[in-house]
Structure 1
Amino acid sequence: MSDGSAESGKGGIAAALKAMISFFTIIRLDVGQTEFESMERRFWLAPVIGLLNGLVAGFIVLLLIECGVSSTVAAVFVLVTPFLFSKFLHFDGLTDFGDGMVVSSGKREDHIRALKDTLVGAGGIGTAITVCLISFACYCGLSIYWLIFPAVMIAETAAKNAQVFAAAWGEPGNGMASRQVGFTNKSSAVRSLILSAVLFILVWLAYIIIAGNLGWHKEGQLVAYFAVLALIISSVSGWIMARNANRVFGFVNGDILGASNEICRAAVLTAFCIIAGLWF
Structure 2
Amino acid sequence: MNNFLLAVRSSFGFLSTIPVGLTMEGLDEFFKRTYLHILVGAVLGLLMGAFSFLAMMALPQQISAVLIVVFVYYLTGLNHIDGLADFGDGLTAHGSVEKKIRALKDVALGIGGVGFCTMGIIAFYSAIVSLQSEALIFADSSIKTAATVLLSAMLIAEVSAMQCMLTIAAFGKSIHEGLGSILVQNTTIPKYFVGLLGSVIICSLALVPFGLWYGGLVALIAAIVSAFIILNISNRHFGGMNGDVIGTSNEVGRTIALIIIVLVLSYHNGGIPWML
TM class, shorter-chain normalised? 0.7 to 0.9
Which of 28, 42, 47 is matched with 1:51 structurally? 42
Larger relative contact order (CA 8 Å, sep ≥ 6): 1
TM-score, structure 2 normalization: 0.86
Q: Amino acid of the residue matched to residue 41 of structure 1?
A: K
TM-score, structure 1 normalization: 0.85
The one-character-per-residue Cα deviations of 1:64-99 (angstroms, maximum 9, x if unpaired) are 2333x1011121122221211112111111111111
Superposition pairs for residues 122-201 of structure 1, below 5 Å? 122-144=111-133, 145=135, 146=146, 147-172=149-174, 173-201=176-204
TM superposition shift of 1:202: 4.9
- Hey, what's the Cα distance between the residues in 1 that align with 2:229 and 2:8? 27
Do the aligned residues in 2 keep the contact of 1:167 with 1:242 (CA within 8 Å)? no
The one-character-per-residue Cα deviations of 1:29-82 (angstroms, maximum 9, x if unpaired) are 244333211211221221222222222222222222333x10111211222212
TM superposition shift of 1:11: 6.9
Which of 70, 80, 87 is matched with 2:77 structurally? 87
Q: Which structure 2 segments of 5+ residues have no match? A: 136-145, 270-276
TM superposition shift of 1:201: 4.4
- Hey, what's the Cα distance between the residues in 2 that align with 1:268 and 1:34? 34
2:94 paired residue number: 104
The worse-fitting range, judged by mean Cα deviation, of 169-178 and 150-159 is 169-178
- Hey, what's the Cα distance between the residues in 2 that align with 1:131 and 1:200? 23
- Hey, what's the Cα distance between the residues in 1 that align with 2:110 and 2:36? 33
Aligned length: 255
* CA RMSD across the alignment: 1.9
Do the aligned residues in 2 keep the contact of 1:96 with 1:116 (CA within 8 Å)? yes
Q: Which structure 1 segments of 5+ residues have no match? A: 1-9, 209-219
- Hey, what's the Cα distance between the residues in 2 that align with 1:51 and 1:79? 17
